[in-house]
Chain A
């Protein structure tokens, strides 16, 4: 039996807006196994990004419980959540969100630095990863000097360099052209396959859905469909 990467039990997220509260996530009960490659699809406003934020501990559930691996996220202090994210969760954002004052290498090694990994080990690990995902020679460039695809690869490198159990990717291909998207998906698929990293995407992109081994469709904050299948392309 596979290990559990993520588990949720009747999770609700309600934004207290006037005149009526918004129920962004309604009773989400979900289990994601380690090493899975999961896409969450659904129309805008269906709650995809909110689910990723809940799983990453970036926002609090109104009610319900969430576990990352064997650790319960709900009820953790801010400091405990930060530690959990640092050790177990990687993020990839639609808008890349690299820190503009740091170089590609410095961005990618950010989480290792927070963990106190020695410089030589950090640099070796990042440069090896850069080689693996096609970023050779770009280590000293600042984000402003990189293309969108290159920036997103750096963001992926930043997310996976610490060998997290879970990578949460919020529409990672939304700002990329089709060739760059395909290349990035290849990279993430390979990392998933070779490192066993669990990926959970939110996406509108059919190419992402096509590659996912599990496709969860959200509508109005509820799971409408949960389709486990073999990926179209290995």
Chain B
């Protein structure tokens, strides 16, 4: 063993000279690690909830349109323009991308919905229920009735829209909408079901029809759709996957534009970035507080060993080696704290992730950046937060050891040996 090994050995044994102090300090640091990982996990959970609700309800993670559709959303600018597109072939091509899971077609329209004396402007969404339910959760929010069936002239409307139009399941609605041929399409539809998403704008304004029914109302051929919405295998990688998908669709006969949810909902993307920066601040505050506590403890320990530092200097130890023993103590303390912290944090995170406390009986959720947040305190965990917290913890102990280590090198041997 070289002298490097000596300092590690001395540092290790010094830590156990006052085992109570070491355990108290290590516990404090371990709790800091626990707090950092849990706090980051909670904000990550909140972020995941916002992104999930912001994208999974209707937006989807990736959208494909005709290149001139956005931002005006002109009804004539369907994919493939007036000729339309082979919808099944396009969906198959999109789903063949290795990182795309599912895809669903959509057609949008605007119109008036009337029942008796009540009339309301609304957004008409034509979709394929089977496919749509694989990419968004909209159709899983039905609270009464059922989904509209193809060719049955049925409509699914939001609960708030139903209240405003004073209709319920089984009642009839007249829908009037501008058609692609310049005429006004109108038809009588039966309310097949009601949905409640919790997002007021959706519940009050959307009416959902079978894709073919809306195409018929708007005098459009079956090949005409405005949008394909898709889900990807890794939502954190959506922008990259969207770029990759755009590349793979470049050779498609019609000009297509692919956008990720981060482009479609920049405010939600910014909210996520804000939460990420909050995580950084949380970790910074927790470990900045810990630095002073650990430094104080190590300073006391170093002061108690002034005479020993003087002795080892008298025996020929350099100042650098004297400081090294204190820094070794810091590193060992950090590893010990990290081990304790990880052993406590990991099972708590798994338990918390799987059985998150539901606070909805105490307060309702809220909407932020257009996404609904339910008061369910789920923590999310990835390797990032524990790794960053572990590095921060080790940095904390080493940084906290620097001042005591420097003080140890400043011990005047003659004075310390004389207890001056």
Chain A residues engaging chain B, CB cutoff 8 angstroms: 49-50, 53, 56, 58-59, 78-79, 82-83, 85-87, 89, 91, 93, 97, 99-102, 110-111, 113-114, 116, 119, 158
Contacts and interface: CB of A to CB of B under 8 A. Distances in A.
Contacts of B415: 59
B274 interface: no
A113 B3 contact: yes
Interface string B1-28: 1110010001001100100000000000
Nearest to A13: B414
Contacts of B391: none
Question: Which residue, B314, B417, B418, has most C-beta atoms of chain A within 10 A?
Answer: B314
Nearest to B307: A97
A82 B6 CA distance: 17
23 contacts: A53-B413, A53-B414, A58-B313, A58-B417, A82-B319, A85-B315, A86-B317, A87-B316, A89-B316, A91-B315, A93-B417, A97-B417, A99-B10, A99-B311, A100-B308, A102-B10, A111-B316, A113-B3, A114-B3, A114-B6, A114-B317, A116-B3, A119-B1
B312 interface: yes
A91 B314 contact: yes
B417 to A, nearest CB: 7
A158 B312 CA distance: 11
B244 interface: no
Interface of B: 1-3, 6, 10, 13-14, 17, 307-308, 310-319, 321, 412-415, 417-418
Nearest to A97: B311
Nearest to A59: B414
B118 to A, nearest CB: 86
Interface of B is mostly: helix
Given A85-B315, A99-B10, 19 more contacts: A49-B418, A53-B413, A53-B417, A58-B313, A58-B417, A59-B413, A78-B318, A82-B317, A82-B318, A89-B316, A91-B314, A91-B315, A97-B308, A100-B308, A101-B14, A110-B315, A113-B3, A114-B317, A119-B1
Nearest to A89: B316
Given A79-B318, A86-B315, A99 B417 contact: no
A158 B412 CA distance: 21
Nearest to B2: A116
A28 to B, nearest CB: 16
B13 A101 contact: yes
Contacts of B2: 113, 116
B413 A101 contact: no
- A49, A78, A83, A110 pick with most chain B CB within 10 angstroms: A110
Nearest to B15: A101
Contacts of A59: 412-415
A158 B315 contact: yes
A93 B311 contact: yes
Nearest to B11: A101
